[in-house]
Structure 1
Amino acid sequence: MLCSILLIAIYPTLIACSKSAETSDETTPIEEEGKTIKADAVVAADGTGDFTSLQDAINAAPNNRTEYYYIYIKKGTYKEVITIPQTKDYIYLIGEETAMTVLTYDNYASRRKPDGSEYGTSGSASFFVQGNHFVAEKITFENTAGIDAGQALAINISGARSSFRNCRFLGHQDTWYAGNGTYQYVKDSFIEGSVDFIFGGSTAFFDHCQLESTRNGYITAASTPEDQTYGYVFHHCTLTARPEITSSSVYLGRPWRPNAKVIFIECAMDKHIQQAGWHNWGKPDNEKTAFYAEYKSTGAGASIDNRVSWSHQLTMEEAKRFTYENVIGDQHPKFVMEKIQIN
């Protein structure tokens, strides 16, 4: 039996084995140090796991679960459109190595389906999360349609609650999307794109992430519902750009809908960030309803004195409203343990 062992912290392990017919289907969630858990399924492109297709592994998971179903994905490139269906709650994906475990496809909004219709923006994603309580670690979600393809999502999240750690989201226009009323916690991850590459109406907390611009454009296009307390909060994130991107050419955001809410808390911003910071999408009325704010931005792009007058520079007391605990703390699924390492 071939096994891949994930060392979690110091003692707990997640053992991902190619299973025989006699292997138990029961899961053993890790709750404290010293416990171990076997992956319920192993996906391996080279045929050494239970499945060569991640979608096949997801389809094999029982419906309507109330405990996690762990799928371990070995290094490889998996080109397939993948969906976590609404009937598959509590799916937990763990990749062997972030940059080498790649889930990819190349659809885009104007591409024609076999029936002649277009995929459209929301339908162009490489990965769809429809199930609730979804977690992913050490995985790359990618759309390779290219910088001139227009809208081409790497991920489309409609499931109510999800969490991502040590992941990469690669694309250009509209890379990362999550729908109204959903919650996401994104930690220690990398998101790249060109235009509106983080967009939608969710409550999302991005913690110590890197946001990489692939050309001049806009980082966020939030569509926060009017009655929703929070939109996007970026906490201790780093905003970078490809070397060819010129200074003051990328906006922090523009409001896809009038009540967009986006906050940057103690983020480092390179010189590609527009001195004005924010754009009204050509609609002056958006300036009255959108809430765009920063607290202690640093770097060449943190041109506080030149920001548009309708944005906000928060005080310390005001910034306390946007802590992890207030925004997302009990609203997202938790990770198995800290400091997952592979041996």
Structure 2
Amino acid sequence: MKKLFLLSLVALLTSGLQAQQDGRDTIVIARDGTGKYRNIADAFDEVRAYMEYTRVIYIKNGTYKEKIVVPAWFKNVHFVGESAEKTIITYDDHANINKMGTFRTYTVKVDGNNIVFKNLTIENNAPQMGQAVALHTQGDKLVFVNCRILGNQDTIFTGGEGTSLFFRNCYIDGTTDFIFGGATAYFQDCTIHSKRNSYITAASTPKHITYGYVFNNCTLTANADIDRVHLGRPWRPYAATVFLNCQMGSHILPIGWHNWGKPDNEKTARYAEYNSIGEGAAPKARVAWSKQLPKKEADSYTIENVLGNEDWWKQ
């Protein structure tokens, strides 16, 4: 009997460890009270620092009005929503509240590394009264799959210079500079939606970083009354942004790019396209200081080359 008990105990401990290793260690969040917690941040105390196994925070459909900071000691955590349209994390800070400034307005800030977000919405629903960040990233190797990231001015701030991000099958909208910052970010099969005549990107890629923003096989759309949108303008002189095989609506201006009122940026900004299609594709009309890539060069912008040969982005 004692031997049988010991064998059962060993089996239980082994199965528990295997569950952690297989990523089955899941915490359920539900606003309706059917999960372990009603608020997402309440689960954070259950996450061990710098885990080598995956911890899943599963979020049921509902609206979670929370201002969330994913701490730097989070690693290998997956935030998985029940559905992209109905699992909504939202807040409404903007830069003009008590002189808050841009970088405190986030709804979700991610300081940890190797973090995955799937099937959910991250939203800043502040009125159009200034900068209002929905997603602020500082961590490295962050993945967003089938997410909606919604806002107005400055929707996504990719703040960690030297960090890498991957967005796949996401819907991102905003008004001005709504994807901005210094990180390297690869956008695959995403919809990028403009809600105002303005600028989509404002990269601040450091001079020594080869890749900034890469959009591959993305679709650029806009509200019906929008007809004067630039692909980007350089927040810093060496901004790097490339559009590959993208469908561009008629809202994209023929000149494509803007120098932010600083002619010297034209000497340093790294702006390029390859195989743009649609009414907004006008390779011969683009500003002379942007580049139309030859196929051989465009082929070098693979996910592996941009983000590295590790498989962290394969989610």
Same fold flag (TM > 0.5): yes
1:304 to 283, 290, 302: 283
The yes-or-no answer on 1:102 pairing with 2:81 is no
2:245 aligned partner, one-letter code: E
Return the offset for 1:324: 1.4
1:70 to 56, 61, 67: 56
Equivalent in the alignment of 2:260: 281
1:131 to 73, 94, 112: 112
Equivalent in the alignment of 2:100: 119
1:209 to 186, 190, 195: 190
The yes-or-no answer on 1:173 pairing with 2:165 is no
1:241 aligned partner, one-letter code: A
Following TM superposition, where does structure 1 have runs of at least 4 consecutive aligned residues deviating by more than 6 angstroms?
none
1:324 to 285, 295, 303: 303
Q: Is the 8 A contact 1:39 1:72 kept in 2?
A: no
Measure the CA separation in 1 of the matches of 2:223 and 2:310: 34
Equivalent in the alignment of 1:48: 34
Equivalent in the alignment of 1:13: none
Return the offset for 1:330: 3.0
Equivalent in the alignment of 1:20: none
C-alpha deviations, 1:61-111, integer Å up to 9, x for none? Answer: 112212211111000000010111012222111100001000000001121
- Secondary structure, in 3 states, of the residue corresponding to 2:260? coil
1:28 to 20, 27, 30: 20
- Secondary structure, in 3 states, of the residue corresponding to 2:85? helix
Q: Is the 8 A contact 1:184 1:332 kept in 2?
A: no
Q: Is the 8 A contact 1:161 1:332 kept in 2?
A: no
Measure the CA separation in 1 of the matches of 2:130 and 2:79: 29
Measure the CA separation in 2 of the matches of 1:91 and 1:196: 29
Distance 1:321 1:334, change over 3 A: closer
Task: Decide which structure has greater helix share.
Answer: 2
Distance 1:139 1:29, change over 3 A: farther
Distance 1:235 1:209, change over 3 A: same
C-alpha deviations, 1:242-295, integer Å up to 9, x for none? Answer: 11213xx00000000000000000100000001100000000000000010000
- Secondary structure, in 3 states, of the residue corresponding to 1:321? coil
Distance 1:124 1:48, change over 3 A: same
Equivalent in the alignment of 1:341: none
Identity value in percent: 46
Equivalent in the alignment of 2:144: 164
2:78 to 83, 92, 113: 92
Q: Is the 8 A contact 2:171 2:191 kept in 1?
A: yes
Equivalent in the alignment of 1:232: 213
2:142 aligned partner, one-letter code: S
Q: Is the 8 A contact 2:234 2:259 kept in 1?
A: yes
Distance 1:335 1:137, change over 3 A: farther
2:138 aligned partner, one-letter code: S
Return the offset for 1:119: 2.4
Measure the CA separation in 1 of the matches of 2:46 and 2:184: 31
1:171 aligned partner, one-letter code: G
Distance 1:318 1:308, change over 3 A: same
Q: Is the 8 A contact 1:266 1:295 kept in 2?
A: yes
Equivalent in the alignment of 2:3: none
Equivalent in the alignment of 1:60: 46
Measure the CA separation in 2 of the matches of 1:250 and 1:332: 35
Which has the bigger relative contact order, CA under 8 A and spacing at least 6? 1
Q: Is the 8 A contact 2:25 2:54 kept in 1?
A: no
C-alpha deviations, 1:7-55, integer Å up to 9, x for none? Answer: xxxxxxxxxxxxxxxx95874344xxxxxx5342000000000110001
Query: TM-score when scaled to structure 1?
Result: 0.84
Measure the CA separation in 1 of the matches of 2:125 and 2:17: 36
Measure the CA separation in 2 of the matches of 1:138 and 1:199: 23
| Number of residue equivalences | 300
- Secondary structure, in 3 states, of the residue corresponding to 1:156? strand
Q: Is the 8 A contact 2:230 2:252 kept in 1?
A: yes
Return the offset for 1:304: 1.3
Query: TM-score when scaled to structure 2?
Result: 0.92
Unaligned runs of 5+ in 2: 1-14
Unaligned runs of 5+ in 1: 1-22, 31-36, 113-117, 337-343
- Secondary structure, in 3 states, of the residue corresponding to 1:98? coil
